[in-house]
Amino acid sequence: MSKNLVIVESPAKAKTIERYLGSDYTVKSSFGHIRDLPKKGLSVDIENDFTPEYEIPADKKKIVAELKKSIDKDTLVWLASDEDREGEAIAWHLCYALKLDPKATKRIVFHEITKPAIEQAVKNPRNVDQKLVDAQQARRVLDRIVGYELSPVLWKKVQAGLSAGRVQSVAVRLIVEREREIDAHEPKSSFKLQAAFSIDRHEIKAELPKPLENEEEAKGFLSDCKDANYKVAGTDKKSATRNPSPPFTTSSLQQDASTKLGFSVRQTMSVAQRLYESGRITYMRTDSTNLSTIAIAAAGKYIEGKFGKDYHESRQYKTKNASAQEAHEAIRPTDFSVESAGDDDQQEKLYQLIWKRAIASQMAAAQLEKTQINIDISTRPEKLIAKGEVLKFDGFIKVWGGGKEDTILPDIKVGAGLELQEMKAIQSFDRPPSRYSEASLVKKLEELGIGRPSTYAPTISTIQSRGYVEKTDSEGQERELKTLVLSGGEIKSGSVTENTGVERKKLVPTHLAERTNDFLIRHFAPILDYKFTAHVEADFDKIADGDVIWHKMIADFYKDFAPLVKKSETVSRQETAQARELGTDPKTGKPIFARFGRYGPMLQKGNAEDEEKPVFAPLPADTTINNVTFEQALEMFNLPRVVGKTEDGEEITANIGRFGPYIKVGKTFVSIKPHDPMTIDETAARELYKAKKETEANRYIKKFSGKLAIVRGPYGPYITDGKKNARIPKGTKPEEIDEQAAKSLIEAAPARGKRRNKK
């Protein structure tokens, strides 16, 4: 048995570390947390200082047993989980699960998986830091209390199966509020004025700095310029610099990987984890922009050798976040001389991004020359402005990119006359706030001090998987813009079109998000307050510093939270339905509502208290409870609509269901997307039904008695009797299987597992 046992979190990490340690060391993995709160129940003893009731999950018992077997009285155990609070908690849990003394067990941390870093860590072991463990416990316990006590309130008052969380609910609030800002936005029009001049065969393009408010003002300006003279009122030439950005933190990496590579936040963290575990980059969960002196020296050596001394400028960036303490360095390559690394395309792309950002941060600033020409108009007090920019020295841009094309203005003297070629005023509209992307949501959460590097990816994944937010694309819509052009002494009116509102991978709240958010703000305002959520994060930092006792911090929170939960029990479910009365049905005289039901938004005709039961209908496509009109709602109560008949004389009806519009013939349902059930005609419906029947007919390779059949599936042919499925043995042709053989294979096949309840 090895004298030294090193325990890390992941198998990939274990393999890399084992390469750097000698034969006296055995490296094993805990596969993440070894103990945790049980999945079911609160598992927090509120009466006893909020003591968490940890357990070893069933899937970890075998791992614990194997680790115990690796330890005897002569074994020296080294706990090498990640250096953040979560990693510290894993080390602490390992002590308890393996019956190790936390004060005697060696704890080692390293920011990168390289031989020097591992050797240095082994030379400088420490004990488990209880303050960091307590900070992690406080977060875990607080989030469990909020989730466990708040979620059941949502089940009773809003909709079954919902979940709430301290950070997740605030993230949803941000997205809902942004959507309402967009809905409330009323675009205002103005006119942007541009002019083109010539002098000595050079063209100069200029603009009016301030837009003109309306078409009348734009026409007046152009009219005044018909007979105007133009001359250079002044020139200004000055040097400017552009400095590189600091190396990546977790959030800035997530943002850049999203905008430059199209990666989701979760994808970025997964790929970065693999790069870290293979020893390519430093630890990827950090809010520090610092680089070690060794890293700065290594980057400088590479830059001078590759580009020359002029391109090198050593920098140490100051971390903006005062509480940044979970990692000591920004994300960077472990070896700057390796320009490309990774086991697949995604890893290579992300590594390149990290490498370029880190190298660029230690390079010289870009040197620019900016020129501005001010142009007088003889008939107007305003001045037109022409701007030029020339890159004199590319500096960090050589690696990072982002340099603009040079705009060169000619050298002209003050007082020189200019000849107007054309002047035009183009209508423009101010834009509403942009919807959040994953990257911009991370940026906003970081600005507000909500969450930490390790929480952004799971938070954004959770709000999408729980149905609060959808990631959508929008192709936008065409809009006509008026134009006025002055040329040759004449003003001509015209128009151009623009495509406005194009969006890619933006986060849009669902009806459920709006309804849940409104309920939580009404009854749990302190929990959804941005300042409160940021204040909690600051408290976790104080616990990690030893300034606050963790269970007292939880007690202070709970004394305000518990009364809110109790008070919410008196809220009626009707209050959360958010019913909006649209009008009165002219045929029956009954009111028509748009409201939330148990399974989402819907239309209702009549009241629940009426003798005759209400009639329900789905919302029309692309509408919400807030914007559906009475006329649209009235049409929906005509569904299901008889479209016609099939060639065999069977009736075809059209309707909207849970999964969108469809037609029905007998017991056969056929999706008709993107057709509208209100307008689809008999011919189109027949074609869709015929195609469905052909698909079903081609599905069967052979039919036997009852429901026994051989069918084509997405992964190849198989046998089914409607209750069980059986694989076809390798090398056997489906067409050659007879009924008896099919029955035998079905009998030998394992029974179907029970479907798991997603709720």
The number of residues making up the chain comes to: 759
> DSSP string covering 715-742, please?
TEEEEE-SS-EEEPPTT--GGG--HHHH
Q: How far is the C-alpha of 257 from the C-alpha of 437, rounded, in Å?
A: 12
Residue of 276, 283, 558, 689 marked catalytic: 283
Residue keyed to tokens 């002055």: 486
Residue keyed to tokens 């400017």: 240
Residue keyed to tokens 């959360």: 576
The total of other beta-carbon atoms located within 10 Å of residue 45's CB is: 11
Q: Are 558 and 50 in contact (CB under 8 A)?
A: yes
Beta-bridge partner residues of 375: 232, 384
Cis peptide before 152 (omega within 30 of 0): no
Tell me the Cα Rg of the chain: 34
CA dihedral over 486, 487, 489, 493, signed as positive or negative = negative
The total of other beta-carbon atoms located within 10 Å of residue 24's CB is: 9
Please say if 283 is a catalytic residue. Answer: yes
Residue keyed to tokens 């067990």: 105
Alpha carbon 699 to its chain centroid, in Å, reads 39
Q: How far is the C-alpha of 724 from the C-alpha of 708, rounded, in Å?
A: 10
Element holding 199 (H helix, E strand): strand 189-199
Q: How far is the C-alpha of 624 from the C-alpha of 580, rounded, in Å?
A: 11
Coil vs helix vs strand at 279: coil
Residue keyed to tokens 């009707």: 574
Q: How far is the C-alpha of 759 from the C-alpha of 753, rounded, in Å?
A: 17
Q: Are 499 and 476 in contact (CB under 8 A)?
A: yes
Q: Are 135 and 547 in contact (CB under 8 A)?
A: no
Q: How far is the C-alpha of 383 from the C-alpha of 372, rounded, in Å?
A: 12
Q: Are 126 and 107 in contact (CB under 8 A)?
A: yes
Q: Which amino acid is at 360?
A: A
The residues that are catalytic are 283
